[in-house]
Amino acid sequence: MPHPLAPLHVETVRTRHGLRRFVGLPWHVYDPTRHPQWVPPLRVMVRDGLDEKHNPFYRRASRELFLARRGSRLVGRIAAIENRAHNEFHGDRVGFYGFFECADDQEAAGALFDAAGTWLRARGLDTMRGPASPSFNHECGLLVRGFRHHPMFLTPWNPRYYVHLHEGAGMRPVKNLLGYFIPVGWERYQLPERFRRQAERATRRQGLSFRTIDLDHYWDDAAVMWNVYNAAWERNWGFVPMTWEEFRAQARDLRRLIIPEFVFVAELDGRPAGFCVILPDYNQILKRIPDGRLFPTGFFKILAGKRRLRTGRIFALGVRAEYRNRGLMALIAYEAYRRGRAYGAMGVEASWVLEDNEAMISPIQAAGAKVYRRWRIYERSLTG
């Protein structure tokens, strides 16, 4: 805890040195002894998420970065983000915040939220919403349940006191995101038999098939998944369609991380109807890269350990609207379960499921999964 008499300053990041301090701030906040669940992020991934010049997200967005310090000690950070694509798609005047990290210091947290809100309000926006780092197509949500569990790859973990920092700064809950754990490899766990029967009937009667991604034609398959992604999520709360450039950038980053067996397309009579991407839980490896630096050895640790990982996360799963009444979501879940058992997987997390998305929740709960994590989206009016 910072010394209570040290003066608080909030500064705007303007230089490369300031950006390095912004990226490195979590190492000033998290103590591995007090926060054993925390996984050091890869610094290069955080920089990519902030890179206005090269990240295609910022072709339709802008951001400003703020650091809080007491004396010479850094105690917090926040990014204010104007996502013009969101406001054009939804007809809103919503601004976003993300990349929030802070010591247990309510004054610092309040000052950071105020700085972000002031910047957003000056751009004509009337609401501040988040966390979104930098958007809901990337890492989002504040963990409010499941603190004792180690986080899965590309999901946020934060201490419990972050909830009090948010609510003490006038942030109010607006939506919950759920995380389920499915213990596919546990000896006592079996997917209900009706899932298998439905899959067999669909294969015979509907011409259903599952095609594993072809790494030799990776970009062709990525384009198929991009089209399904934008069609499948179109009516989800907060969703904004991704441009091909945005989707391609994410697909490029994930190309070396995927295990082909766990990236597949569902086809009905040869037409793409849905897809599933399950990523290994690389956080088990990132825990062994405490400084968050990919080079000189971090990259090789990741690639060398990939095939030994036995848990993962459903990173993306979607079905075109016209096929949802055929129970395709449950059939994709069964296919993922079948592949996981054959691979020797122990479990998979299905996460960031909107709390009111019954089309996703029903088959997950039918599979016997329970909510074990919960993230929350907050917002605050900028007009009061």
Beta strand pairing call for 370-381 and 172-182: antiparallel
Tell me what the mean pLDDT of segment 126-140 comes to.
96
Tell me what the mean pLDDT of segment 226-245 comes to.
90
Give the pLDDT band (50/70/90) at residue 2: very low
Tell me what the mean pLDDT of segment 171-185 comes to.
95
Interatomic CA distance for residues 346 and 90, integer angstroms: 40
Tell me what the mean pLDDT of segment 224-247 comes to.
91
Place of tokens 């919950």: 176
Coil vs helix vs strand at 130 = strand
CA 8 to chain CA mean position, Å? 31
pTM: 0.94
Residue type, 311: T
Tell me what the mean pLDDT of segment 179-199 comes to.
86
Give the pLDDT band (50/70/90) at residue 3: low
Domain with CATH 3.40.630.30 in the chain: 8-176, 182-379
- CB neighbour class for 231 (10 Å; exposed up to 12, middle 13-18, buried from 19): middle
Is the pLDDT at 324 greater than 60, yes or no?
A: yes
CATH topology of domain 182-379: Aminopeptidase (3.40.630)
* The CATH number fitting domain 8-176, selected from 3.40.50.10860, 3.40.630.30, 3.10.50.40, 3.40.309.10: 3.40.630.30
Convert the pLDDT of each residue in 38-85 to its tens digit. 999 999 999 999 999 999 999 999 999 999 999 999 999 999 999 999
Q: How many H-runs (helices) and E-runs (strands) does the chain carry?
A: 13, 15
Closest CA to 141 of 169, 100, 181: 100
